[in-house]
Copies of this chain bind each other. A is one copy, B any other.
Amino acid sequence: MNKKSYKIKNISIIGAGNVSTRLSIILQKKKYNILQVYSRTQKSAEKLSNLIKCANITDLKKLSNEVDLYIICVKDDVINKVVEKIKNKNIPIIHTSGSTDINELKDFNTRGVFYPLQSFNKKIHVSFEEIPICLESNNKKFLQELTLMAKKISNSVQELNSQQRQFLHISAVFASNFTNHMVSISESILIENNIDSEIIKPLLFHTMNKLNNHQATICQTGPAIRNDKKVIKGHMKLLEKNPEIQKIYLEISKSIYNYENKEL
């Protein structure tokens, strides 16, 4: 296959979860033609195909040979199974995963990654424009066409190699999942002690607003960075009944203190 250019127009979507739903809708809005949607189950395949008015399939053998692009939007650990089952290795293909190497698509002549850095949730709306999209490809011209597609839906598009993207994914886990968990723990401590958990919100949003204009390390306050041993010891004692939370409290406090001494 010696395509000179990679005009993307007709697309098959593989997967029918949160990412494929959001991505199909926005691509269709931007005049891309979603021809078919694959899902393992008839029910979810139909649900998405009804939504965007296209064909649905539950057998990867039925993937069209006439499209310009396959987009894989399935869970990370089934990407390799999906890849194995696709017959036509000449169709350009991309996956949308943060933590999967582009080499998982190595059997395909033209391959790429199209990773939207966001946590998608069926219940909560998110505007694609603000979502950074990270691209990678083995083919320069195909990358140009992917860049065109990405820029139609997002204001923030950049190229990252697979290792960088995997570190970005770790970094997203810290900034999103782990910050969220800190707030979970905070709220559960309040609830256990009969304190309205809303009380913590102004402090939380003040903390986040500071991060809008400052590096996080500079914004740090609290007993750990001051190495306020008396307060830390008191907190550890109060958390005695919950050894797991106590362990996290101590590890993060140590890390805050070490960061201060390493970096400032």
Could you tell me which A residues sit within 8 Å of B by CB distance? Answer: 75-77, 99, 117-121, 124, 126, 130-132, 156, 158, 160, 163-164, 166-190, 192-197, 199-208, 210-212, 214-217, 219-225, 228, 230-231, 234-235, 238-239, 244-245, 247-249, 251-252, 254-256, 258-259, 263
Which residue on chain B has the smallest CB distance to residue A77? B230
Of all chain B residues, which has the CB nearest A172?
A: B203
Instruction: Check A216–B170 contact: CB distance below 8 A.
Output: no
Interface contacts beyond A166-B238, A170-B235: sample of 17 additional A-B pairs, CB < 8 Å, sorted by A: A126-B206, A156-B199, A156-B202, A163-B193, A164-B194, A167-B190, A167-B238, A168-B195, A172-B186, A172-B200, A174-B182, A174-B189, A176-B204, A179-B204, A181-B224, A184-B215, A244-B255
User: Which residue of chain B lies nearest to A219 when distances are taken between CB atoms in the complex?
Assistant: B180
User: In whole angstroms, how far apart are the Cα atoms of A220 and B185 in the complex?
Assistant: 12
Closest Cβ–Cβ distance, residue A119 to chain B (whole Å): 4
Q: How far is the CB of A131 from chain B (nearest CB, A)?
A: 6
Minimum Cβ distance to chain B for residue A61 (Å) = 26
A220 in complex: contacting residue of B184, B223, B252, CB < 8 Å: B184
- How many angstroms from the CA of A119 to the CA of B223 in the assembled complex? 11
